[in-house]
């Protein structure tokens, strides 16, 4: 059954549940281990949404979309190329992305996030989708001018690992066909990115399988699928939104 799972703060307690229109159904137990549907609902307007899951790690793909790879004249990778977003960077829906200071050029990258639902170690590709809980919206925020500042070392993790640089949410949606999804990123209400997930070089099943050969993926971990054309810089005071029909809209201010 298709559901939109959220995590939220209500009544002094962190809870989880499912969206039902303008209300949230409260569930009990563990999202990843036989969650129990509750009888109570609360108004969405009366709770504060948190990140929908708590990943032990977020894996972020590079050069995984044909359109952007061709625009940048990048070689087609033989295997997924990725980095890690650190836990200090995780940010809830509605949270403020903080400029790291100085004259840094900070860019948005709207992306689809794959949320792992079961412990995944050396998973075969035909079995990979059974290890996926669902999908979320994400913004892989980056300080572009740090990346190649040192000619001897590309600083991917540093450029993408600042506090607040990994907003994701608002929900984890289940029951979707990722190949039919479209990622749209809006900056101050203007569409900057609008690209199909079907343009990925490596499919969801391939990503989960191949990355799980390298490292164990835990329930709640997220794989960011990479981004496509339209990436751009943000000025303080901007609002950036990542919207995927069927999942929701992730909105954050940049200050």
**pLDDT tens-digit map of 95-132:** 999 999 988 999 999 999 999 999 999 999 999 999 99
Mention the CATH class of domain 51-254.
alpha beta
How far are the Cα atoms of 35, 41, 44, 51 from residue 22, in angstroms, in the given order? 22, 10, 6, 18
Question: Model confidence at 186, in pLDDT bands (50, 70, 90)?
Answer: very high
Those residues whose C-beta lies under 8 Å from the C-beta of residue 192, and which sit 6 or more positions away, are 108, 110, 185, 186, 230, 231, 232
Write down the pLDDT at residue 2. Answer: 86
Say how far apart CA 188 and CA 191 lie, in whole Å. 9
Residue 243, both tokens: 């919207």
How far are the Cα atoms of 17, 42, 93 from residue 185, in angstroms, in the given order? 26, 29, 14
Domain limits, CATH 3.90.850.10, in the chain: 51-254
Write down the pLDDT at residue 1. Answer: 73
Q: Please give the CATH superfamily to which domain 1-50 belongs.
A: FAH (2.30.30.370)
CB count within 10 Å of CB 145 equals 15
Write down the pLDDT at residue 168. Answer: 98
CB count within 10 Å of CB 100 equals 13
Domain limits, CATH 2.30.30.370, in the chain: 1-50
The CA R_g of the chain, rounded to the nearest whole Å, is 18
How far are the Cα atoms of 65, 110, 132, 184 from residue 192, in angstroms, in the given order? 16, 9, 29, 7
Q: What is the mean pLDDT of residues 72-81?
A: 96
Considering the entire predicted model, what is its pTM? 0.97
């Amino acid at each position: 059954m298709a559901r939109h799972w959220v995590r939220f703060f209500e009544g002094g307690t962190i809870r989880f549940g499912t969206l039902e229109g303008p209300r949230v159904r409260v569930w009990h137990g563990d999202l990843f281990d036989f969650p129990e549907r509750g009888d109570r609902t609360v108004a969405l307007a009366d709770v504060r949404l948190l990140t929908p899951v708590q990943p032990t790690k977020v894996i972020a793909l590079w050069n995984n979309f044909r359109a952007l790879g061709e625009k940048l004249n990048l070689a087609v990778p033989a295997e997924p190329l990725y980095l890690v977003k650190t836990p200090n960077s995780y940010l809830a829906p509605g949270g403020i992305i903080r400029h790291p200071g100085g004259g840094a050029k900070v860019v948005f990258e709207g992306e689809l996030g794959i949320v792992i639902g079961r412990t995944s170690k050396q998973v075969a590709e035909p079995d990979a989708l059974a290890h996926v809980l669902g999908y979320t919206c994400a913004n892989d925020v980056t300080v572009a001018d740090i990346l190649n500042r040192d000619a001897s070392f590309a600083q991917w993790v540093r450029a993408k690992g600042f506090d607040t640089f990994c907003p994701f949410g608002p929900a984890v949606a289940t029951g979707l066909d990722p190949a039919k999804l479209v990622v749209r990123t809006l900056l101050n209400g203007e569409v900057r990115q609008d690209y199909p997930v079907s343009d990925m070089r490596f499919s969801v099943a391939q990503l989960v399988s191949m990355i799980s050969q390298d490292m164990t993926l835990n329930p709640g971990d997220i794989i960011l699928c990479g981004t496509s054309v339209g990436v751009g810089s943000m000025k303080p005071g901007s609002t950036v939104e990542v919207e995927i029909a069927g999942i929701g809209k992730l909105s954050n201010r940049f200050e």
